[in-house]
Chains A and B, each alone.
Chain A
Amino acid sequence: QQQVKQSPQSLIVQKGGISIINCAYENTAFDYFPWYQQFPGKGPALLIAIRPDVSEKKEGRFTISFNKSAKQFSLHIMDSQPGDSATYFCAASGGSNYKLTFGKGTLLTVNP
C-alpha cells in the first residue's frame, strides 16, 4: 500500500520557470512533511519541511503548500535553474512511528 503518492514522475522545465511537484497522503496521523533533493551518487538532502499547523512555508526559491483537508502538499520551485536538476522526493511521518514514508520521486530537468 503506497501511502504517499507523488506526481509527476518526471518534469522538464525551462530555466526561469516554475517547477511544481505534488504529493498526496492517506494516513491522517502524519504530522511532518519534508521534501528531499537527491543528486546522482548522493544521499537525499533535506530541502524544506512543513508541519500541518501552517498552510505554506517558503525558503528562498522553494515553497511548500499544504492542504490538510485534501491531504495534499506540493513543492514549488520558483525561477528554476539548471542546478536544480535532480530527483525530488516528498515524504511523510508521524504518529507513534518515526519512519519516513517516501513518494516514488520526480526527476526534474531544467533546460538552460
Chain B
Amino acid sequence: KAGVTQTPRYLIKTRGQQVTLSCSPISGHRSVSWYQQTPGQGLQFLFEYFSETQRNKGNFPGRFSGRQFSNSRSEMNVSTLELGDSALYLCASSLLIAGGMTDTQYFGPGTRLTVL
C-alpha cells in the first residue's frame, strides 16, 4: 500500500500571501490530521477531519483552515502568511477502529513551508 503523500514538498512564500497544501491518505483511511512542526514548539495539532467533517481543532488562529474531500484527500490553507508560519506541515492518516478507539496515525513526509 502506498503511504501518505503530501504535495508540494517544499514551498517558499512571502508574508501576506496564502498557501494551500495537499494530502492524500493511505487507501482506505478516512481520518486525516494535520500537524505543524517547528524547532521551538515541536509537533502541534492543527485539525482532524473524518468523512469530510472537521472533528477536532487545535489552538491555531482562523488563518489556518482545512477541508476534506469525499475521496478522503485533504487540503489545508493558510491565509495572510506570517514569518512565524515557517514550519514543516505534516499530514497523518488513520484507519478508524469501530467504536471510536484511537488508532495509529501514519505520517507523510511533510511540506516544508518557508515564509520570507
Chain A residues with CB under 8 Å of chain B are 31-32, 34, 36, 41-46, 49, 89, 91, 93-94, 96-105
Contact = CB atoms under 8 A, between A and B. Distances in A.
Nearest to B50: A98
Given A99-B58, A100-B45, A101-B45, A45 B107 contact: yes
B77 interface: no
Contacts of B108: 43
30 contacts: A31-B101, A32-B101, A32-B102, A34-B105, A41-B109, A42-B109, A42-B110, A43-B4, A43-B107, A43-B110, A44-B107, A46-B104, A89-B42, A89-B43, A91-B43, A97-B56, A98-B31, A98-B33, A98-B55, A98-B94, A99-B33, A99-B45, A99-B56, A100-B35, A100-B45, A100-B105, A103-B42, A104-B42, A105-B42, A105-B43
Contacts of A89: 42-43
Interface centre among B44, B105, B107 (most CB of A within 10 A): B105
A100 B50 CA distance: 15
Interface residues on B, range: 20 to 34
A32 B33 CA distance: 16
A49 B94 CA distance: 14
Interface string B30-57: 0101010000001111001010000110
Contact of B104 (A34, A42, A97): A34
Given A43-B4, A43-B110, 11 more contacts: A34-B105, A43-B108, A43-B109, A93-B102, A96-B100, A98-B94, A99-B45, A101-B45, A102-B43, A103-B42, A105-B42
Contacts of A99: 33, 45, 48, 56, 58
A37 to B, nearest CB: 11
Contact of B42 (A45, A49, A102): A102
Contacts of B31: 98
B98 to A, nearest CB: 14
Given A98-B31, A99-B33, A99-B56, A49 B104 contact: yes
